[in-house]
Amino acid sequence: MKAIEITSYGAPEVLRVAERPDPVAGAGELLIRVAASGVNRPDVLQRKGHYPVPPGASDLPGLEVAGEIVSGDAAALAEAGFKVGDRVCALIAGGGYAELCVAPVAQCLPVPKGWSDLEAASLPETFFTVWSNVFERGRLQKGETLLIQGGSSGIGVTAIQIAKALGATVIVTAGSDDKCEACLKLGADHAINYRTSDFVEEAKKLTGGKGVDVVLDMVAGDYVAREVECLAEDGRLVIIAVQGGVKSEINAGLVLRRRLTITGSTLRPRPVAFKGAIAKALREKVWPLLESGAIKPVIHSTFAAAGEPSGAAQAHALMESNQHIGKIVLTW
């Protein structure tokens, strides 16, 4: 099969098309003929050598795919209600930038009705991450307020749409007025340009001084202290990335006076059973929203993976330019 390899750590050009042996599905797994592969910021970190591959995972980049089931563990397929020929999208721990990809059956979901494979390939990584962090760890409830840092990111556009569909008020930050506008169009109630306004002051103003109930943070660093300041009583801060650094000096007095929770997680190294439980929750609570049109795909660009040079390099260069709004997808 053709695949995209990280030939050495470095600039996007280190991503090259290569021939690899076809992978084989083992117990509890299925093999997918990949139609499209989603691109995520963690792929960029891996390409640069900043995101080690978990033990047992493919060294090829790519955390999500969509396509057709070619073969698989018959018992596991039957138990999940899948058969050869069905179209699925899958969360994987690596190996998604390839024509063929093995995935645990538990981490596969049907391509939602009305969605193309290309659109479905943009779903797993951000939907699993947002569900697990905002709704399970962060316990966001209907009627509560969510502050999303980086509202126009792949993660952000997912969090905006699920939170709105489930009845929360959504405030986002973004780095330009155009990105703020795009977030409002997707349903966010308020958007703060973090380069020209102070998000702590704005979030307090927008909530009548109460503060927000949940913050989804992909920046960390000095943002953590500021997020602690803008949380309401019993507020929850969920950290999913540390783009702004790993250290912060927080006011611990606020944590105890307001009974705050500071938590976070990283999805990739978690076991199949954990990811399978998220898949079940998504199928029950979120897939109907995708099929009804309440949640729509937000795809900024697509690139042909197997082109010469590979579109994967262009996709990564675009992601690092931060010009995109929503998702970037590779097609095969």
Residues found near ligand NAP in the complex (CB under 6 A): 40-42, 125, 129, 149-150, 152-156, 173-175, 179, 194, 218-219, 240-241, 243-244, 265-267, 319, 322
Residues 6+ apart with CB under 8 A from 235: 211, 212, 213, 214, 215, 258, 260, 261
Nearer to ligand NAP, 69 or 122 (CB): 122
Q: Which of 38, 265, 64, 296 is nearest to 164 (CA)?
A: 296
CB of 156 to ligand NAP, least distance (A): 6
Nearer to ligand NAP, 71 or 243 (CB): 243
Nearer to ligand NAP, 32 or 148 (CB): 148
Nearer to ligand NAP, 222 or 291 (CB): 222
Tell me which residue has tokens 């702590």: 200
Strand partners, 214: 146, 236
Three-class secondary structure assignment of 225-276 = HHHHHCEEEEEEEEECCCCCCCCCCCCHHHHHHCCCEEEECCCCCCCHHHHH
Residues 6+ apart with CB under 8 A from 127: 158, 162, 282, 286
Nearer to ligand NAP, 64 or 73 (CB): 64
Nearer to ligand NAP, 267 or 290 (CB): 267
8 Å CB contact between 151 and 215: no
CB of 186 to ligand NAP, least distance (A): 13
CB of 13 to ligand NAP, least distance (A): 19
CB of 162 to ligand NAP, least distance (A): 14
How far is Cα of residue 53 from the mean position of the Cα atoms in its chain?
17
Nearer to ligand NAP, 153 or 302 (CB): 153
Q: Are strands 29-39 and 100-104 parallel, antiparallel or unpaired?
A: antiparallel
**SS3 (DSSP) at 26:** coil
Nearer to ligand NAP, 69 or 216 (CB): 216
8 Å CB contact between 248 and 224: yes
CB of 125 to ligand NAP, least distance (A): 6
CB of 118 to ligand NAP, least distance (A): 17
Which helix (H) or strand (E) segment holds residue 27: the answer is none
d(Cα 76, Cα 183) in Å, to the nearest integer? 39
CB of 10 to ligand NAP, least distance (A): 18
Nearer to ligand NAP, 83 or 195 (CB): 195
Tell me which residue has tokens 């439980």: 277
CB of 315 to ligand NAP, least distance (A): 11
CB of 220 to ligand NAP, least distance (A): 9
d(Cα 54, Cα 95) in Å, to the nearest integer? 12
Structure tokens at 250: 């927080």
The crossing angle, in degrees rounded to 10, of helices 154-165 and 177-185 is 30
